[in-house]
Structure 1
Amino acid sequence: MNVISSVRPAALSVEGVSHAYGTRRALHGVSLAVAQGQFTAVLGLNGAGKTTLLSLITRLFDTQSGSISVFGHRIDRAPGEALRRLGVVFQARTLDLDLSVMDNLLFHAALHGIGRREARRRADVALADVDLSKQARDKARNLSGGQMRRVEIARALLHEPRVLVLDEPTVGLDIASRQGIVSHVRRLVRERGVGVLWTTHLLDEIESSDYVLILHQGHALAQGVAAEVIAASGAETLRAAFAGLTEAA
């Protein structure tokens, strides 16, 4: 089943992407479009290929076949232009634990060529936005898991990207922290028009109006607005639709 609803012009476009690790194929001709101002979720079990897909989008791996573009800039032909329009939050924690929260942000800003005065202004605003202004001078190692993730999101937005990609950002967090992260990212979509690509295996993070891609063993089994994917599958819930699709694959 493949349900594709019409979406706004793509901010991030993935077209026919395949990838293999030696003889093991991790992705099979996956296509996906993420619109600006839209929450798009890649939903799949562990090992479905979600992290491989994000590794290709962020150019940790070279594209073997197919193409990936950010606002029309091919990731393989103009990586600088493409990547500067992306904000990235990886599944693994990436803060320098021995630096303060503020210094983690300032270091990231310097990598993007942002002057120190402007970087500090943006960092102050970003920390206030995630309710961590009081922790600015704390070492990153002293933060909770949820606070670390909020700092990583703040850091990813410092260079003002128009697309934010997050790989399983709520893994290992308690329920309250998970809800807080999801709510914050949805607010970025709603209030700032940021396009979001969110990978997860947690179905309760998806809303009926979200655009979803169901990924299983490297294959795109279905994609479209969640409510339409549910209806097309003949199921009553996304959980039932997901189970039916993956069990039949």
Structure 2
Amino acid sequence: MSAEPLALDVARIGHSYGARRALDDVSFSVAAGSFTVLLGLNGAGKSTLFSLITHLYAAREGKIEIFGHDVARESGKALRRLGVVFQARTLDLELNVMQNFVYHAALHGIGPAETKRRGAGLLERAGLADRAKDKARDLSGGQMRRVEILRALLHEPLLLLLDEPTVGLDIKARADILAQVRALVAERNLAVLWTTHLIDEVAPSDDVVILHQGKVLARGSAENIVTQNGVVDIGAAFTAITGLAAAS
């Protein structure tokens, strides 16, 4: 019996902008049904890697697979299994929440009736059922981000990518979003790659990939990385590994 394919397999990825090397021999994987944190300071290469995984950029060095499908050669099959939340806000502020859902789902071939059924269920579970007819511009920053996450789930992906999803939010909104995404991992067996520069978003049980200046310097569970570096927490491990002050 063959083993279940990895949700995401990044193998020896490199990328340059002219003479500047943004990523250098980057390799790591995300198991199905797991929460993995891609941790690195601003400028580490996280957004470039995100763009390669989502096929916004073509990978010229190395290979990326999503559930066994090569993003370069089988982009349709790979990307159908992928939900994405970009760092920049992407809701149409003049549309209401459900209209944003309908527009997005149509890009995946899902009709309005099915979208409204799925969308209503997602909003109900997230405690946002009463905001379905509100314009996106009337939502708080945290609510906008939670709606973007729900929108990314409409086509029922198996892997969810979130690029710095809590930037600019207050402590409570950040905690609510983290709790929402962690619950999805448990409830839906969803694989998540969460990119951040914020140390306090890492839990001891999380899988962690530390990316610094375009290179993977450590990968494994947060607990193991802490133990291997003989320190008390992941912040101290990050400092020891990168030789820089810990992110905060």
Taking structure 2 as the reference length, the TM-score comes to: 0.95
1:96-175 residue pairs with structure 2 within 5 A?
A: 96-175=92-171
Amino acid corresponding to residue 220 of structure 1 in structure 2: V
Find the counterpart in structure 2 of residue 70 from structure 1: 66
Q: How far did residue 129 of structure 1 move?
A: 2.0
Task: Write the letter of the residue equivalent to 2:218.
Answer: A
Give the match's secondary structure for 1:108: helix
Instruction: Give the Cα separation in 1 of the matches to 2:177 and 2:160.
Output: 13
- Alignment partner of 1:10: what SS? coil
Matches within 5 A, 1:40-79: 40-79=36-75
Q: 1:152-199 CA deviation, whole Å, 9 max, x = no partner?
A: 000000000000000000110000000000000000011110000000
Partners of 2:58 and 2:72 within 8 A in 1: yes
Percent of pairs with identical residues: 59
Give 1:135 shift.
Answer: 1.0
Please say if 1:218 is aligned against 2:218: no
Cα distance in structure 1, aligned partners of 2:187 and 2:115: 22
Any idea what the Cα deviations from partners look like across 1:204-239, whole Å, max 9, x if unmatched?
111111110001000100000110011111211111
| 1:84 matched residue in structure 2 | 80
8 Å contact from structure 2 (residues 5, 67) kept in 1: no
Secondary structure of 2:243 counterpart: helix
CA shift at 1:9, angstroms?
A: 4.5
* In structure 2, C-alpha distance between the alignment counterparts of 1:59 and 1:143, rounded to whole Å: 30
Which residue of the other structure, out of 20, 24, 31, is the alignment partner of 1:24?
A: 20
Q: Which AA in structure 2 matches 1:194?
A: L
- 1:188 aligned onto 2:184: yes
State the Cα RMSD in Å: 1.3
Structure 1: runs of 5+ lacking an equivalent:
1-7
Query: Are 1:176 and 2:154 counterparts?
Result: no
Tell me by how many angstroms 1:109 deviates. 0.9
Structure 1 runs of 4+ with >2 Å offset: none
Cα deviation, 1:37-64, whole Å, max 9, x if unaligned, reads: 1000000000011111111000111102
Corresponding pairs, count: 242
The CA distance in 2 between the partners of 1:84 and 1:130, in whole Å, is: 23
Query: In structure 1, how many angstroms separate the alpha carbons of the residues matched to 2:161 and 2:82?
Result: 7
Question: Counterpart of 1:129 in structure 2: which amino acid?
Answer: R
TM, length-normalised to structure 1: 0.95
Q: Secondary structure at the match of 2:7?
A: strand
5+ residue gaps, structure 2, are none
